[in-house]
Amino acid sequence: MAKNITIPAVGESIVSATIGQWHKADGEYVEKGEIVLTIETDKISTELEAEHSGSLKHSASEGDEVDIGAVVGEIDETAKAPAGTTAKKAEPAESKEEAPAAAVATPAAESADQKVTPVAKKIAEEKGIDLSQVTGTGAGGKVTKADVEGFVPSADSTASESVSGDTGQPAISSEKRTTRKKMSPLRKKIADHLVNAQQSAALLTTFNECDMTEVMALRKRVQESFVSKYGVKLGFMSFFIKAVVEALKEVPAINAQIDGDEIVENHFYDIGVAVGTDKGLFVPVIRDCDTKSFAGVEQDIIDYAGKAKEGKIQLEDLQGGVFTISNGGIYGSLLSTPILNPPQSGILGMHTIQQRPVAIDGEVVIRPMMNLALSYDHRLVDGKEAVTFLIRVKECIENPDRMLIGA
């Protein structure tokens, strides 16, 4: 009996998903619990496991967009498991009978260490594309349907020779100069989200700087005992999260959002922390930051970073934040204007720590300074409130002992 593979619901607002990758070939025998398919939505990627053992049949191809609840394949439970090992991909009968003997030498042949999905290989054969020239974007560098469809061949070498023949100029290289591929659903969503943020809010950014001397000295003093007690390092981000909580308490207008013609005030402190990955920017939310300890915040950051890099971030991990912190400083950014994460009304941008001369008590001294940028929705937050917020963050960072004792 065949059991259908359907696209599960992955969030209330998500109505469709894209077939990202089939991990098992059409006709291959799969065991219950094995990962057979990765689907991508505009928010997350999700791996689907086989709920039954049997022979797999694809009814949707990689790159296809399908509705939630749609049937994309089936597993035939009547199929018998091959002796000793998992069955290999079933070869279509006509491919053995009709394929010419020289097929292995066709332009579509991939290199020995190159991974190619069955659908991608079929399309490459039909179009005469040399797979060795196609860059794979799937898991482990696997060439997918989208990679082949978006492939742009390099200029023909004979054409290059004819161009150079009469002019005496060096021949134009036939090396591939561009690659074209479809945007992933996640990248499309990020693009739409950023454009929407700029079009739907009155964005304004205010700047300040903070002296990192005391925070750095405190971390140095307590780092060894902190790691020994909690098993995690004390980083800068937990200080800034705690500082933001204090600033939100002092300026509640930034802990609010506009919903139609109403203002929704939040009385909780769930802070989003932007995490960059190969697949795009994720903003997992650390819950109840006002009640969590520094160690609890640091552990949450580590857990989310690991999940993001492994592609295991869940939809609920990204929802419900009231404010976002983005740390461009880890990439060397000196100053930037971060874009809001709607429907939030504020986002704090951290930047690289730089040794700079500053005037303190009438004397010029060298201090580790960080630029801070607060972007906010001017429809809801006035300039005075934004500046007050940023100064409060600065005060907390420059006097970290007060945050530790709650003063």
According to DSSP, the residues that pair with 354 across neighbouring strands are 369
Active site residue 267: no
Q: H-type helices in 41-117, by residue range?
A: 93-98
| Residue tagged active-site, from 156, 192, 382, 401 | 382
Q: Could you please report the per-residue DSSP string of 273-321?
A: E-EEETTEEE--EE--TTTS-HHHHHHHHHHHHHHHHTT---GGGSS--
Query: What is the C-alpha to C-alpha distance for residues 143 and 120, in angstroms, rounded to an integer?
Result: 7
Query: What is the C-alpha to C-alpha distance for residues 243 and 246, in angstroms, rounded to an integer?
Result: 5
Query: What is the C-alpha to C-alpha distance for residues 401 and 30, in angstroms, rounded to an integer?
Result: 57
Query: What is the C-alpha to C-alpha distance for residues 127 and 188, in angstroms, rounded to an integer?
Result: 27
Query: What is the C-alpha to C-alpha distance for residues 69 and 345, in angstroms, rounded to an integer?
Result: 35
Query: What is the C-alpha to C-alpha distance for residues 152 and 155, in angstroms, rounded to an integer?
Result: 9
Please classify residue 251 by burial: count the beta carbons closer than 10 Å to its beta carbon, then call 0-12 exposed, 13-18 middle and 19+ buried.
buried
Query: What is the C-alpha to C-alpha distance for residues 323 and 344, in angstroms, rounded to an integer?
Result: 6
Largest alpha-carbon pair distance within the chain?
A: 89
Query: What is the C-alpha to C-alpha distance for residues 240 and 394, in angstroms, rounded to an integer?
Result: 9
Q: Which residue has the tokens 């591929």?
A: 181
Active site residue 166: no
| Residue tagged active-site, from 26, 64, 290, 378 | 378
Catalytic residue numbers, as ranges: 378, 382
